[in-house]
Amino acid sequence: MALQFEIQAQDPKTAARAGVLTTAASVIETPVFMPVGTVGSVKAMTQEMLEELDARIILGNTYHLYLRPGHDIIRQLGGLHRFMSWNRSILTDSGGFQVFSLGDLRKITEEGVVFNSHIDGSKHLLSPEKSMEIQIALGSNIVMAFDECTPYPAKYEQVRQSLQLTSRWAKRCRLAFDSMADRQWQSLFGIVQGGVHHDLRVESLEQLLAIGFDGYAIGGLSVGEEKSLMYDTTEFIAPRLPADKPRYLMGVGTPEDLIEGVARGVDMFDCVMPTRNARNGQLFTTKGRLNIKRSQFLRDQRPIDADCPCKVCSRYSRAYISHLYRAGEILASILCTYHNIYFYLDTMKRIRHSIRSGQFSEFRESMLSNLSLGEKA
Amino acid sequence: MALQFEIQAQDPKTAARAGVLTTAASVIETPVFMPVGTVGSVKAMTQEMLEELDARIILGNTYHLYLRPGHDIIRQLGGLHRFMSWNRSILTDSGGFQVFSLGDLRKITEEGVVFNSHIDGSKHLLSPEKSMEIQIALGSNIVMAFDECTPYPAKYEQVRQSLQLTSRWAKRCRLAFDSMADRQWQSLFGIVQGGVHHDLRVESLEQLLAIGFDGYAIGGLSVGEEKSLMYDTTEFIAPRLPADKPRYLMGVGTPEDLIEGVARGVDMFDCVMPTRNARNGQLFTTKGRLNIKRSQFLRDQRPIDADCPCKVCSRYSRAYISHLYRAGEILASILCTYHNIYFYLDTMKRIRHSIRSGQFSEFRESMLSNLSLGEKA
């Protein structure tokens, strides 16, 4: 079977749950955070480092890999796992979010999205069938249905038409996937749209359930709406997703968002924040964020986070990392990224442990209180 | 004692020799190649990687560290070793080469060199005393005397005046160093100048010998002269340096230059080539160089070098690295740098082994023949 999912603990006071997701490639304890490896590399990390950090699943971007090096090359070279030498799980997005982000460079029709490459301007069509073809060629363990990420803000009727297009595309994805995929390897997730409207979220979910998927994602959040709306929408829709399938909140988020998402019943997350912010010098700690660019750190011999046992905090000082950042050294990106991924994965580990030990609410309160001590973003 | 040096094997046919250099920080087998860590980081490497690669000594640049973060900060933070978390040996250059490279931004007088920072234009004086003060503050194991790197080409009389200035500065370095340095920690090397003129090299050497140093470097080569002149000058002067002290050919060079330098009696080398070229996609192999940018590598599943046992060649393909390079991924710099440093350090290890086993000339011939198989630089 392509994917197994078992819930092993359920928090009594919230919708938080802990379990195990098993793909053909690896065993993944949930709730899980998936580091983003856009073009076949989690930026500034070696695969050895990701293994050392105990990442069990990473995300690849269909749009980027389709344009460069191309899915045909990757298929000929044995798939993305072999291409990048990563034998644990890979989830690929559908390419939808990236092409919609191209703005004037893309046009949406019933067939799909015609767009111009951000690299060389060449013209391409990304459709449900094409997205399946690419993701199957990449050999990802979890394939995402090609959806329209509804813009925010949008009128109610626009959101409705968008989610219905997503549902029609989801059906085509299911058909294309089933006709192509090696079911020993790969599974397909649907994406619930519907903006911040509860009834539209339900409409989207019902249409996806009628098609049937191996997991369900919540799309179209963290795209500019108020945080309270993001939490509210998640709180409404997450518990309505099938309890026996993994639930994935796409593109989210901050450490606070992760614990709030888990409390609302989410099992999977991904976000560029730990990696991208690292390259901009922003570090996540148990006491909130700190920006290594600030001159106060130039003589600070302490580690990034005195409570962090990661390899970076065990060895390097804020003063050194601050210097590396100012000098434009690649090592600054490496060390900051390593620490941030450690922090994200360790946070998820603590969350899982707290759910299993029945201490989730206490952990949530204590973590949120500590996180508020640091700098604000 | 700050530094011990013992020659343990001498090639019968050439001036090549193998030995052990011991500083307060580490035991270094010679001949040795020192990776360059300009501003406190060997670019794109973690210190863990350098340890894994078995680098025993790295080079730091006085000019860069003086400007950023500043030697006072580094001293307050416990010296460069502690600052960057590197407990093996460090050699620092004098800053001379960098300030002379500033061209119009610097002015040379008997006192020293007045220059404007390449970072913010601020005005500074680097003199023999100042260079000693900085290097002692950095806490490097091997301190280099502040010299004038004679330009090439230059008139005979200009070369002579330049080497004499270097000698007067060397004397001031010796006095300043002896009045400041903790002799348990640090040792001082002199730099022989004199361009490509044998008699001027001898004049420079005699003046330095009269002062007395813990090691002797050959400066002013690999600065634009014909390769044959570089080899000829090294061949003339290296064997005249004291046999019981380490001999250091500064800023050299290609793999071919290393073996030719060793054949002429050199014990130590440094060069940015393996690290800088890596970031430009140029890789060194036992069969010559290859440039990973070339499109022929996009579908090439082989490692960089099939004969190389390094971690990069054991895991990643040319196709993947070529893709990473084109996509501008940091991982391309990490993997290429790791391999190139492995190649340089492994080449030195093979050279040392060949000297000790009496096979140096055979190894030299075979290595030069293999290196010529690849692309030309």
Name the residue with tokens 């002269």. Answer: B225
Element (H, E) at A28: strand A27-30
- Taking CA atoms, A60 is separated from A93, A124, A130, A142, in Å, by 7, 19, 16, 10
Give the C-alpha separation, B339 to B345, whole Å: 10
Question: In this predicted structure, which of A123-132, A160-169, A174-183 has the lowest mean pLDDT?
Answer: A174-183
- Reported confidence tier of residue A375, pLDDT bands at 50, 70, 90: low
DSSP string, B320-331: HHHHHHHTT-HH
Task: Give yes or no for B171 touching A (CB within 8 A).
Answer: no
Q: For B333, which residue in chain A has the nearest alpha carbon?
A: A330
Q: Is the pLDDT of residue A376 over 60?
A: no
Q: Do A69 and B298 count as a contact with CB atoms less than 8 A apart?
A: yes
Name the residue with tokens 């863990």. Answer: B48
Give the C-alpha separation, B143 to B94, whole Å: 7
Q: How far A352 CA sits from the closest chain B CA (Å)? A: 31
Sort out which chain B residues have CB atoms less than 8 A from A324's CB and list them: 39-41
Size of interface A-B (CB pairs under 8 A): 112
- At residue B372, φ and ψ (nearest 5 deg) are -75, -5
Closest CA relative to residue A340, chosen from A33, A31, A17, A8: A33
Q: Is A68 helix (H, G, I), strand (E, B) or coil?
A: coil
Closest CA relative to residue B49, chosen from B338, B344, B346, B348: B338
Sort out which chain A residues have CB atoms less than 8 A from B45's CB and list them: 331
Whether pTM exceeds 0.95: yes
Closest CA relative to residue A19, chosen from A348, A255, A372, A290: A348
Q: Smallest Cβ distance to B319: which of A83, A323, A327?
A: A83
Q: Is the pLDDT of residue A184 over 90?
A: no
- Reported confidence tier of residue B183, pLDDT bands at 50, 70, 90: low
Q: Is B264 helix (H, G, I), strand (E, B) or coil?
A: coil
Q: Do B69 and A323 count as a contact with CB atoms less than 8 A apart?
A: yes
| Average pLDDT over all residues of chain A | 96
Give the C-alpha separation, B300 to B312, whole Å: 15
Alpha helices, H only, chain B: 47-52, 62-67, 71-76, 80-84, 96-100, 128-138, 156-180, 198-211, 227-237, 255-263, 273-279, 311-315, 318-326, 330-356, 360-371
Give the C-alpha separation, A92 to A80, whole Å: 10
Calculate what percentage of chain A has a pLDDT beyond 90. 92
Q: Is B287 helix (H, G, I), strand (E, B) or coil?
A: coil
- Taking CA atoms, A19 is separated from A5, A28, A249, B65, B182, in Å, by 7, 9, 16, 51, 60
Q: E strands of A175-260, at which residues?
A: 187-192, 215-218, 247-249
Q: Is A187 helix (H, G, I), strand (E, B) or coil?
A: strand
Q: Smallest Cβ distance to A329: which of B41, B48, B329?
A: B41
**Positions of A marked catalytic:** 93, 270
DSSP string, A327-374: TT-HHHHHHHHHHHHHHHHHHHHHHHHHHHTT-HHHHHHHHHHHHTTS
Task: Give yes or no for B119 touching A (CB within 8 A).
Answer: no
Residue ranges covered by each domain of chain B: 3-271, 278-371
Sort out which chain A residues have CB atoms less than 8 A from B76's CB and list them: 299
Which residue among the candidates B11, B147, B214, B270 is catalytic per the annotation? B270
- Reported confidence tier of residue A101, pLDDT bands at 50, 70, 90: confident
Spatial neighbors of A132 by CB under 8 A, at least 6 apart, are A143, A146, A173, A176, A177, A180, A181
Task: Give yes or no for A117 touching B (CB within 8 A).
Answer: no
Q: Do A84 and B320 count as a contact with CB atoms less than 8 A apart?
A: yes
Mutation for testing the A interface, residue in B43, B46, B76, B138 having most A CBs under 10 Å: B46
Q: Do B334 and A84 count as a contact with CB atoms less than 8 A apart?
A: no
Task: Give yes or no for A317 touching B (CB within 8 A).
Answer: yes
Q: For B311, which residue in chain A has the nearest alpha carbon?
A: A48
Q: What is the pLDDT of residue A373?
A: 82
Q: How far A351 CA sits from the closest chain B CA (Å)? A: 30
Q: Is B60 helix (H, G, I), strand (E, B) or coil?
A: strand
> What ipTM did this prediction achieve?
0.97
Give the C-alpha separation, B168 to B204, whole Å: 10
Q: What is the pLDDT of residue B2?
A: 82
Task: Give yes or no for B324 touching A (CB within 8 A).
Answer: yes
Task: Give yes or no for B323 touching A (CB within 8 A).
Answer: yes
Contact A208, A170 (CB under 8 A): yes
Sort out which chain B residues have CB atoms less than 8 A from A333's CB and list them: 330
Tens of pLDDT, residues A348-374:
999 999 999 999 999 999 999 999 887
Q: What is the pLDDT of residue A183?
A: 66
Q: What is the pLDDT of residue B255?
A: 97
Query: Is B307 one of the annotated active-site residues of the chain?
Result: no
Q: Do A77 and B323 count as a contact with CB atoms less than 8 A apart?
A: no
Q: Do A40 and B83 count as a contact with CB atoms less than 8 A apart?
A: no
Judge residue A197's burial from the number of C-beta atoms within 10 Å of its C-beta, 0-12 exposed, 13-18 middle, 19 or more buried: middle
Q: Do B323 and A69 count as a contact with CB atoms less than 8 A apart?
A: yes
Mean of the pLDDT values across residues A169-188? 90
Closest CA relative to residue A164, chosen from A195, A189, A130, A133: A195
- Reported confidence tier of residue B271, pLDDT bands at 50, 70, 90: very high
Closest CA relative to residue A247, chosen from A235, A238, A255, A256: A238
Q: Is B89 helix (H, G, I), strand (E, B) or coil?
A: strand
Q: For A39, which residue in chain B has the nearest alpha carbon?
A: B327
Maximum Cα interatomic distance, chain A, rounded to a whole number of Å: 61
Mean of the pLDDT values across residues A245-272? 98
The Cβ-side half-sphere exposure at A105, using a 13 Å CA radius, reads 16
Closest CA relative to residue B89, chosen from B197, B248, B238: B248
Tens of pLDDT, residues B227-239:
999 999 999 999 9
Sort out which chain B residues have CB atoms less than 8 A from A303's CB and list them: none
Q: What is the pLDDT of residue A14?
A: 98
Mutation for testing the B interface, residue in A77, A85, A119, A322 having most B CBs under 10 Å: A77
Element (H, E) at B21: strand B17-23
Q: How far A55 CA sits from the closest chain B CA (Å)? A: 17
Q: Do B43 and A333 count as a contact with CB atoms less than 8 A apart?
A: no
Mean of the pLDDT values across residues B104-131? 94
Q: How far B333 CA sits from the closest chain A CA (Å)? A: 9
Element counts in chain B: helices (H) and strands (E): 15, 16
Q: How far B294 CA sits from the closest chain A CA (Å)? A: 14
Q: Do B39 and A329 count as a contact with CB atoms less than 8 A apart?
A: yes
Residue A89 CB neighbours (<10 A): 25
Residue B296 CB neighbours (<10 A): 10
Give the C-alpha separation, B162 to B154, whole Å: 10
Q: What is the pLDDT of residue A377?
A: 43
Mutation for testing the B interface, residue in A38, A45, A46 having most B CBs under 10 Å: A46
DSSP string, B118-136: TTT--EEEE-HHHHHHHHH
Calculate what percentage of chain B has a pLDDT beyond 70. 98
Q: Smallest Cβ distance to A299: which of B41, B76, B299?
A: B76
Spatial neighbors of B182 by CB under 8 A, at least 6 apart, are B136
**Partner residues linked to B90 by β-bridges:** B58
Mutation for testing the B interface, residue in A331, A335, A336, A337 having most B CBs under 10 Å: A331
Q: Which CATH fold would you assign to the domain A3-271?
A: TIM Barrel (3.20.20)
Q: Smallest Cβ distance to A315: which of B64, B85, B330?
A: B85
Sort out which chain A residues have CB atoms less than 8 A from B85's CB and list them: 315-317, 320
